Amino acid sequence: MFVKRAVTGKPRILIALYMGYGVWGLGINDYPHKPRQVVFVKCDVRGTGLPSNFFDAVVVVSTIEHIGLPIYGQVGFDVDGDVKAIEELRRILKPRGYLITTPFAGRGFRIVPGEGQYDIERLELLERGFEVVAEEFFIPYKLGRRFVWVRISRDFAGKVLTRPEVPGLVYLVLRKPLS
């Protein structure tokens, strides 16, 4: 898969800069460490104000599951904040553009302090309007004093109950269709 090969062994931002791509960061809080090569926009990802069909690719790691919840400077509670954010990211992606994200997963959609944990049905809401290029599920497995990630099938992911403090993870690569 192209994404895994492209990022193996090097920080994503360095690869993007090396390849000549512009790198942008979006966030609701000020970001004090702004490399010269990165454009930072202070905004809510549910309504960025950026032009439609703007980005070739968007990488959203450990973020979607927190959007709309009163954490990391967000005020209020929006149970569909994650879905609204994905819809906005789809809008600002160019046709055939990629969205890479890693939401938490478990059996049954639930909101625990500070994060959402997704079941298959809720993941399908996030995937709506995209072509699914890759969807890989992982659960944490305790090995001695540390956890390792074990890949599981989609079917098994819908049956596995993870503890709220140690949720599973989904690696999603989505592509915006041409129309």
Percent pLDDT > 90 in the chain is 39
The most confident of the ranges 4-13, 67-76, 80-89 is: 80-89
pLDDT band at 10 (very low <50, low <70, confident <90, very high): very low
Cα–Cα distance measured from residue 158 to residue 135, given in angstroms and rounded to the nearest whole number: 13
149-163 average pLDDT score:
83
Strand 55-60 and strand 93-101: the pairing is parallel
Tens digit of each residue's pLDDT (9 = 90 or more) over 82-140: 999 999 999 999 999 999 999 988 777 877 777 888 888 999 999 999 999 999 999 88
Q: How many domains does the chain have?
A: 1
Structural domain that includes position 15? 2-175
Which CATH number covers residue 12?
3.40.50.150
pLDDT band of 166, cuts 50, 70, 90: confident
